[in-house]
Structure 1
Amino acid sequence: MVNYKMSEISSENISSDVPEELKSRRIQIFFTVWVTYMIYYIGRSNISVAKPFMMEEYGISTTIFGSIGSAFFYAYAFGQFFNGFLGDKLGARRMVSLGLVVSSIFNILIGGFGQNVWLFGIFWGLNGFFQAMGWAPSVKTIANWFPPKERGKWSSRLGTSYMIGGSLAWVIAILISNTFGLSWRFVFIIPAILMAIIGVFNYINVRNAPEEAGFSTIEEESEGNVKKGESKTDEYLGFKYTLKAIFTNKTILFAAFGLFCLNMVRYGITEWLPTLIAFESTDQLTIWKIVAFPVGGAIGALTCAKISDKYLKQRRMPIISVLFGLLALSLFIYSKIPQVNLIIGVPLLTIIGFLTFGPHALLVSTIPMEFGTRKAASSATGFIDGWGYVGAAISTQIVGIILESEGGLQTAYLFWIIAALAACVILMFNWKSVPKKKEFL
C-alpha cells in the first residue's frame, strides 16, 4: 500500500491537466449515479400518494399507517448502518444495483398483496432495508472519482437526485391514480418496472473508482501522476479503519444529530403532506404544492454548498445551523396560513424545501466525503443517514398519533419546529469545523 500524507498533498494541487477521457468518464459516472439514485425514490415516495386511497379502501387509521411508515424507516436506518460499512468493503456497483432491483420486487409484491395490512407492513419494512443500499455507496463513488476541491460542487449536485426523485415519484403516482384512474396498486407496480431497468443500467455503466477503470487514483492525480494503465481494485482498509474514521471525528457525530432532527421535519412533511392536503384531483394548486417542496430543496442544495465553499472556506456548520433556525420560523408561519393558499402557501413551501434540503445535502453528502475521506465515505454516510432515519421513524409514528389527537395538525407543526430549533442550537457548538489533513483524500 502506498501512503499519501495530506501534509504533502493539498487539494489545490490536484492537477488541472486532466485527460479529456477521465473528465468525460467522471461526468458519465456522475450522471449514472444521479439517475440511479433518483429512481430509487419512485419506489419509496410513492407510498405518500397511495396512502389516502389505501386508508379509505381498507379503513387503515393514521396511527397504523404511521407504524407502517416507521417500520420502513427503522429498517432503512439499520440498513444504512449496516450497508454503509459494507459499501466501503464491496463497492457501490454491486450494492446499488442489487438494492434497486430487490426494492422493485417488494414494490411489485405490495401492489399484489398490499390489501393485507400485515403483509404490507412486512414488505414495506423489507423494502426499507434494500432501499438503504443506495445512498451511502453512491456518496463513496463520487468521493472516489472527484478530487477534494470539487466535492462541494458535485456532492450538492448529487443531492438534487433524491429531491427531484421525490417530486418525480409524486407526479408519476398522481398521474397513475388520478389522471389515468388506475388502482393504487399500479402506483407500486409501474415504478417497480422502471427501477429494475435502471438497476441493470447502473451495473453496466458504473465503476467504483478511477483505478477500476484504469485511471490514476485521486492521490496519484494530486501528485501530477495522471495516466491510463491497467485496472485494479479500489483497496478496502478494513472495518477498524472505517470505525475509527467515524467515532474519532466529532463533526460526523454532530452531523448525525443534525440529521436526526432534520429528518423529523423532512419526513413528517413528505410522508403526511399529500394526506394533509387531502388532494382529490390533479388541479394546478395540488401539483404546484407537491412539486414546490422538492424543487425548492434542489435550489437549496446547490446554493448552500456554493456559499460555504466560496465564503466560509468549507465550513459547513454555520450555514446549516442558520438554515435550521430559519426553517423553524418558516414552519411557524406556514402553520398559520390556510393550507390551500396559492399566493402565500406555494412560495412558502418552496422556501421550506430550500431550508430543509440545503442543510440536508451538506449533512449526508458533503460532510461524509470531506470528513470520512474517500476510504470511509460510505461508512460515514451510513452512520449519519442511519441516525437521520431513526429520527424519520420516530417522527412518522408520532405525527400519525398526533393527527388523531385533539391538537391535530397544529401540534404536528409545533413538533417539527422544536426539532429544527434543537438542531440549530446544538450544531452551533461545531461552528468552526473544517476537514483535517489525513492520509487519504
Structure 2
Amino acid sequence: MDKVIDARGKVSHTRAFRVRRFLNWAPLGLTYAFLYMARYNLTVSKTALGELMTKADFGTIFAAGTITYAFAFLINGPLTDKIGGKRAILISAAGAAVMNVLMGLLTFILLTTDAQFNLVLWFSIIYAANMYFQSYGAVAIVKVNANWFHIRERGVFGGIFGVLISLGLYFAFDWGQMIVKATAAVAKDLNVFQKLLRSVLGIDATAGIDQTWWVFFVPATILGLFVLIDIFVLRETPSGAGFADFDTGDASSGEEDKPFRVKEVIARVVTNPILLTIAFIEFCSGVMRNGIMHWYLIFTNDMGYASDFFIKEHWGLLLMIAGISGGMLAGVISDKVFGSRRGPVAALLYGFMLVSTLFLWPFVTATNNAVKNGFVVAVERSAVQRTSPELGITIESIKSKIEDIYQVEDIERDGERTVWRVHSPEARDMIASKLKGILLAEQKRFNKYKGKEETVRIELSNVAVVSGVPTDGKAYLLGAAVILMSLFVIGVHGMLSGTSTMDFGGRKAAATAVGLIDGFVYLGTGFQSLALGFLTTRSWSYWPPFLLPFAGIGLFLAIRIWHAFPNSKRK
C-alpha cells in the first residue's frame, strides 16, 4: 500500500488523483445533501399545513423518525463496514425516495379526500421508515471517503462535510418553501423557476387547493436521479478507479491485510473512550442543532413575523452560508492550527454556542412577552369584496368572529382599510397561526381531484394580514444569534461526526464509528423534538433555557478530548 507523505511531512497526491477524488465525492456528497432535503421537508410541510399538523404533532412525528434513525445505526453501521459505502448510499437514496413518495401520497389524501385517518400515526410510521433509510447516508459518505482522504487532509474534509449538510439545509428549507409557494392554490410573486415548476406540474387556478404534496415528490425524484449517477460514477476505493490505494494514517493503519470481523470492529468502537466522549458531545449537538434550526421558523410563525422578513424568507440560504463558513473554518483551524486535533476546535465552538444561547435568552423572552400586547390585523376592503357575496363576509362580521375568541381594539378605519389590535389576557393563546385560522365562512367548490364539490374554509388569513412583533433591530439580533449558533454547531458536527469517526474508527470501522456518533446526534434530536414540542406549546420563554445546559455539557466534554489523537498519528 502506497505512502503519500513526502519528505516535508506533507500529503502529496497527483493532479489526476485529486480530480478523480472530486468526481467521486461530488455526486456522493450531493446525494447526501438531497437526503437532507428529503428529511427536513417535514418541517416545511408542517409550516404549510398549519394547524392540520400542530406543534405537538410535528414533535411526535419528528421524534419517531429521529429515534429510529439513532437506533438504526446499531445495524447499519457494522453492515456498511461489511458491504461498503457505495451499496449503502444506493440503499439510502432509493429507500428515502420511496418513503417520500409515500409521504407525498399521504399528504395528497389528507388534502384532497374525505378519508379519516390518524395523521400522527401514519406520518410517524412512514417518516420513521424514511429515517431508517436516511441513516445509511452519513455512514456511507464517511466510509467511502475514509479510503480517499489521509488523516492530515480530514480536517478539510470535515469542512466539506459541513458544506454538504449546509447545502442540504438550503435545499430543504429554501427550495422546499419555494416548492410550497409555487404549488399553492393562489400563487403570488413567483420567480422564474417557480413559474416553470408550476407550468411543468400543470397547476392552474381551478385546483382550489394547495398542492403541498410536491414538497415530498420533488426530492424523491431528485434522489432517484442520483441513484443512477452514483451507480456509474461512484467508486469505493482509489483502486476501483484505477489508482493505487494508500495508507491513510488512521486507526486502521497497518491492518490492510487483516480480515474483517464484525465483533472486533464493534468492540474497537464501543470500548474507545475518546469515541464514547465524542458520542455524548454529539448528543448535545443533536439537541442544539435541531433545537435551533427547526424551531426558529416555527417561532417566527407563532410570533407573527412579517412573511417578507429577510431572515425568515431566506432561512435555508442563511443556514447554508453559516454552515459552509463554520465547516470550512473549523476544518482549516483543526488541520493548520491544532495539528489535525479535533477537540480544541469543538471546545472553542461550544464555548461560542454557550455565549450565544445566553445572548439569545433575553431576546426570546422579550419577543414572547411582546405578544401579550396582541397582534395587528389589517383588512383591505378589496380583499373582502373578492369573496363571494352569498358568504356574507363583511368588515363587521370579521370583527364579530374575532371577538368570539379575543378582545378587539380599533386602530384605524377608512374607506379602504380597517386595522385592529387583537389581544387576549392569556399570552399562550396569542399565536399567529391560531388567529389566522379563525373560520369566517364555508363555501362549496368543485374539487377536480375528488371529482365532486367540497366544503372550503374561508379563514381570517384569506382576507387579512396578521402581524405580530415588529421585525425591527431586535428581531434581526435574535435572528443573527440563531444563525451564529447554527454556524458553530454545524462546524462541531462536521468535525466530530465527519472527521473524528474516520480518525479513531479507522477505515475498517469508519461506518460503525459514525453510526455510534450519529446515533447519539439523533437521540439528542429526538429528545429535543419531544421536549420542545411540549414546552413551546406552553411558552416560548422555555426555549433558550432548555438549550443552555446542553451547550455547557458539550463544552465540558470537548475540553476533555483537547489532546486526543488516534494511536497511529502518534507514531
Q: Tell me, what secondary structure is at the counterpart of 1:314?
A: coil
Shift of 1:252: 0.8
Say which of 498, 502, 507 aligns to 1:365.
498
> In the alignment, what sits opposite 2:165?
162
> In the alignment, what sits opposite 2:27?
32
Say which of 321, 331, 352 aligns to 1:295.
321
> In the alignment, what sits opposite 2:413?
none
Gaps of 5+ in 1: 223-232
The answer to whether structure 1 residue 273 and structure 2 residue 296 are counterparts is yes
2 CA distance for matches of 1:381 and 1:220?
Answer: 17
Deviations 1:301-348 (A, max 9, x none): 110121121121222112212221220221221232248445423433
Q: Tell me, what secondary structure is at the counterpart of 2:247?
A: helix
> In the alignment, what sits opposite 1:229?
none
Is the Cα contact below 8 Å between 2:4 and 2:246 reproduced in 1?
A: no
2 CA distance for matches of 1:390 and 1:89?
Answer: 24
TM-score, normalised to structure 2, is 0.69
2 CA distance for matches of 1:199 and 1:236?
Answer: 30
Gaps of 5+ in 2: 111-116, 185-209, 251-255, 368-468
Q: Tell me, what secondary structure is at the counterpart of 1:145?
A: coil
TM-score, normalised to structure 1, is 0.88
Shift of 1:258: 0.3
In structure 2, the CA distance between the partners of 1:326 and 1:287, relative to structure 1 (3 Å rule), is: same
Is the Cα contact below 8 Å between 2:283 and 2:522 reproduced in 1?
A: yes
Shift of 1:187: 0.9
1 CA distance for matches of 2:355 and 2:180?
Answer: 35
Is the Cα contact below 8 Å between 1:174 and 1:282 reproduced in 2?
A: no
1 CA distance for matches of 2:39 and 2:257?
Answer: 31
2 CA distance for matches of 1:72 and 1:312?
Answer: 37
Deviations 1:261-313 (A, max 9, x none): 11111112223222211177455342234432342122111101211211212
- Listed as ranges, the matches of 1:207-356 within 5 Å are 207-219=235-247, 237-278=260-301, 281=307, 284-337=310-363, 338=367, 340=471, 341=474, 343-356=476-489
Partner AA of 1:101 in structure 2: A
Partner AA of 1:141 in structure 2: V
Is the Cα contact below 8 Å between 2:25 and 2:145 reproduced in 1?
A: yes
| Greater Cα radius of gyration, structure 1 or 2 | 2
> In the alignment, what sits opposite 2:390?
none
1 CA distance for matches of 2:48 and 2:19?
Answer: 45
In structure 2, the CA distance between the partners of 1:265 and 1:432, relative to structure 1 (3 Å rule), is: same
Is the Cα contact below 8 Å between 1:32 and 1:206 reproduced in 2?
A: yes
More strand by share: 2
2 CA distance for matches of 1:357 and 1:94?
Answer: 27
> In the alignment, what sits opposite 1:72?
65
The answer to whether structure 1 residue 389 and structure 2 residue 514 are counterparts is no
Shift of 1:248: 3.2
- Listed as ranges, the matches of 1:135-174 within 5 Å are 135-174=138-177
> In the alignment, what sits opposite 1:227?
none
Deviations 1:358-388 (A, max 9, x none): 1111110110111111121111111111111
Partner AA of 2:542 in structure 1: T
Q: Tell me, what secondary structure is at the counterpart of 1:219?
A: coil
1 CA distance for matches of 2:270 and 2:69?
Answer: 21
In structure 2, the CA distance between the partners of 1:409 and 1:293, relative to structure 1 (3 Å rule), is: farther
Say which of 32, 35, 48 aligns to 2:43.
48
> In the alignment, what sits opposite 1:184?
212
The answer to whether structure 1 residue 113 and structure 2 residue 113 are counterparts is no
> In the alignment, what sits opposite 1:230?
none
In structure 2, the CA distance between the partners of 1:382 and 1:324, relative to structure 1 (3 Å rule), is: same
In structure 2, the CA distance between the partners of 1:67 and 1:199, relative to structure 1 (3 Å rule), is: same
In structure 2, the CA distance between the partners of 1:53 and 1:310, relative to structure 1 (3 Å rule), is: same
Partner AA of 2:541 in structure 1: Q
Is the Cα contact below 8 Å between 1:294 and 1:350 reproduced in 2?
A: no
> In the alignment, what sits opposite 1:403?
536
1 CA distance for matches of 2:558 and 2:569?
Answer: 23
In structure 2, the CA distance between the partners of 1:236 and 1:192, relative to structure 1 (3 Å rule), is: farther
Deviations 1:180-222 (A, max 9, x none): 4242211111121111111221122111111223322112999
Q: Tell me, what secondary structure is at the counterpart of 1:133?
A: helix
The answer to whether structure 1 residue 414 and structure 2 residue 545 are counterparts is yes
Deviations 1:228-249 (A, max 9, x none): xxxxx99862212311321232
Is the Cα contact below 8 Å between 1:211 and 1:234 reproduced in 2?
A: no
Q: How many percent identity over aligned positions?
A: 25
> In the alignment, what sits opposite 1:21?
16
Partner AA of 1:85 in structure 2: P
Number of residue pairs matched by the alignment: 420
CA RMSD between the two structures: 2.7
Is the Cα contact below 8 Å between 1:164 and 1:294 reproduced in 2?
A: yes
Shift of 1:17: 6.0
Is the Cα contact below 8 Å between 1:294 and 1:353 reproduced in 2?
A: no
In structure 2, the CA distance between the partners of 1:37 and 1:209, relative to structure 1 (3 Å rule), is: same
Is the Cα contact below 8 Å between 1:100 and 1:131 reproduced in 2?
A: yes
